[in-house]
Amino acid sequence: MKIRSDTDLSKAVAAAGIRAVPRPVESAANQGSAGRESAPAREGAAAKYGSAARDAGSARDSTVDRDGAFERSISTSRPTTVPAQAIDLSLNVVSHGKLTWRTVLAWLREDKMVSAEDIERTARRFAGGNSAQHPLVRIGSAGLTRVGDGKVLDTETLTEWLAKRSNLPYMRVDPLKVDVGRVADVMSIQYAERRHALPLIFGLTDVTIATCEPLDVAWVSEIEAHTRRHVKLVFVNPIEIARYTTEFYALSRSVRNATKMGESAALANFEQLVELGKSNKQLDANDSGVIQVVDWLWQYAFDQRASDIHLEPRRERSVIRFRIDGVMHTVYQLPPGVMSAMVARVKLLGRMDVIERRRPLDGRIKVRNPAGDEVEMRLSTLPTAFGEKMVMRIFDPDTTVKTLESLGFGNHDGRRWEELVARPHGIILVTGPTGSGKTTTLYSTLRRLATDEVNVCTIEDPIEMIQPAFNQTQVQTGIDLGFTEGLRALMRQDPDIIMVGEIRDLPTADMAIQASLTGHLVFSTLHTNDSASAITRLNDLGVAPYLIGSTLIGVLAQRLVRTLCPACKVPDPDVTRDTLHEVVKPWRLNGGVRPYKAVGCLECRMTGFRGRAGLFELLTVSDAARSTIQPVCDEGKLRQQALQDGLRPLRLAGAMKVAEGVTTLDEVLRATPAWE
Ligand SMILES: [Zn+2]
């Protein structure tokens, strides 16, 4: 995919350096004194809350905006000289206009954040050369450390400090929370770049705007008049402001262009869209606006670690949503015409039939992520009342090379699983509901088994991910190539290891048993709650117990739980060893119990969770277990025997992850069945 060029940071920040022009005298005067202390700074920031001072100054201010030269001519910069203790380099505090490094250094000294020597050294260095960087960026890269704890004062830390000093809420931008389509309604990109301001949140009565210039706030009243909303300022890292200003405005322009061109196509009825599609009188999938929006969408989804992208047409505004760690997040709303063009664009790239909009279609596509890795996506469309809905499932390129540990296997079960899959023949089943990670476990296991010496064949519905080391076949019901037929054909292909996507019926089960009896290792999945009930399920399908007993060698039950965000989790005193023992009775946990709970930060989109891990329950069919299956399957006895053979139930596996502080008890209770 084409990635838009990275943030033109230098350009945006350059604006800062050049415009170290103080505000006109009126606003400064109204803000009180122009003394050297920090008080004016705080007042300056406080002026945003709609003080009379700003309103008085605003008339002048708008004039000024139209004519920068005029502003310069009337500007009365009144840099007060610093007191005697400042040695050769005057760190003058300017109480209005853009921040300067001198002002920031003076404040750092005043707040005793940095040692006097460090301040002096930095001032000397900075005075020697010009820089277009924002003072927080420049000082943030100077390697200063905080007096006391020695913490490095990077731009983010300085931002947090200055926010507090300016009495403004400190914030980090969460791009998913920003209604990007509306940034341009609040201010133009030129205005935003000049002010170092970026609109973020649009309320009914107020609009939240990011700034990194606490002294330059006289423009607020203009925006309040223009938007008829109260402006709430928040303090944001200048690097983030510059980056997102470029990104948000580029995107909003793309959407606007696409909307303009697509207005004629913005029809609610998908039948009409089909007609339009046929006559080509619609928004073109190759339109540059559409191309950009689709590129942005993918980039964004990769950045946010989304597993699925949903494009959902609605009557008024169509919706883009991401699934991240199992939870859906609305990302963007846009006109239906634009969405249908986006869907068309993706279909085009995925070599799907762009004209066909009445039938569900599927396809796949490979794009390159910013890291340079190829990311594969499975595409599927479904006609809905308002147009084609599309879901893009993103496959993590690392999925098939995951280690047992990163899948979530503990030592005990990891070792037993390795032993099991090293057997030359037999049937191994992975069970669990949809979305429990069965495919990932199977793929990464097969990937390790697929050496040059063996032939690994699969029959799948659908092929979730192309893996060059396997021979993969897709079930095609249209031409009577089901699991059974596919498996039969595949058996003639001299396989060693076979994966059958799912055993749904007796013929498929019979074929799998045939394959196992003729010396193959067969992997498949079943929809059952736990490992032992897989045997009952096979029995219910009509497989004779003696055939199950002679071919089945193991069943792995699996669930996924969300893992706690390492950046923000905190110890949870409410979950004790006793709590966990109550949950896993009659087992007991040895070793340390250090449960954590979810908090929420920007890293994890305030959910408190980041990523997911598998919980496993592995039943191995020993000779003793086999005797409980045939001649008639006794599930109770089988469970007892399985425990003796080393099985640890799902819930116990979960409780161990709680004790390790990897996930929470609620997650485990939600995901795992109780042990009977
Ligand atoms: Zn977090």
pLDDT in tens, 105-135: 999 999 999 998 999 889 888 887 778 889 9
pLDDT of residue 674: 85
- From ligand 1's centre to the CA of 200, what distance in Å? 21
Inter-CA distances, 644 with 75, 343, 620, Å: 85, 54, 10
Distance 208 CA to ligand 1 centre (A): 23
CA 150 to ligand 1 centroid distance, Å: 25
- Cα of 604 vs centre of ligand 1, distance in Å, is 4
- What the block records as the tokens of 562 is 């969300």
Q: Are 326 and 562 in contact (CB under 8 A)?
A: yes
Distance (Å) from CA 403 to ligand 1 centroid: 24
596 CA to centre of ligand 1 in angstroms: 12
The partner residues of 554 in beta bridges, in order of sequence, read 428, 620
Q: With beta carbons less than 8 A apart as the criterion, state whether 26 and 57 touch.
A: yes
- Ligand 1 centroid–CA 566 distance in Å is 7
pLDDT confidence of residue 604 = 82
Strands (E), 27-140: none
Q: What is the pLDDT of residue 465?
A: 77
Query: What is the number of helices (H) and of strands (E) in the chain?
Result: 28, 18
Distance between CA atoms of residues 336 and 343, nearest Å: 10
Residues of the chain with pLDDT under 50: 1-88, 263-282
Closest CA to 230 of 205, 209, 210: 205
Q: What is the pLDDT of residues 274-332, one digit of tens each?
A: 333 333 334 556 666 677 778 878 888 887 888 899 999 988 788 999 998 888 888 88
Ligand 1 center–CA 158 separation, angstroms: 21
pLDDT at 259: 65
CA–centroid distance, 610 to ligand 1, in Å, is: 7
Are 301 and 309 in contact by the 8 Å Cβ rule? The answer is: yes
Our CA dihedral for 255, 261, 265, 268, rounded to 10 degrees, sits at 30
Tokens 């060693």 belong to 496
Cα–ligand 1 centroid distance for 651 (angstroms): 25
Where on the phi/psi map is residue 89: left (φ > 0), alpha (ψ -120 to 50), or beta? beta
Q: Considering the chain, what is the average pLDDT of its residues? A: 80
The pLDDT score that the predictor gives to residue 271 is: 34
Question: Do the Cβ atoms of 335 and 262 come closer than 8 Å?
Answer: yes
Ligand 1 mean position, distance from CA 598 (Å): 8
State the DSSP string of 186-221.
Answer: H--HHHHHHHTEEEEEE-SSEEEEEES-TT--TTHH
Kindly give the distance from the C-alpha atom of residue 675 to the centroid of ligand 1, in angstroms, as a whole number: 32
* Residue 601 CA to ligand 1 centre (angstroms): 4
- Rounded Cα distance, 365 and 394, in Å: 10
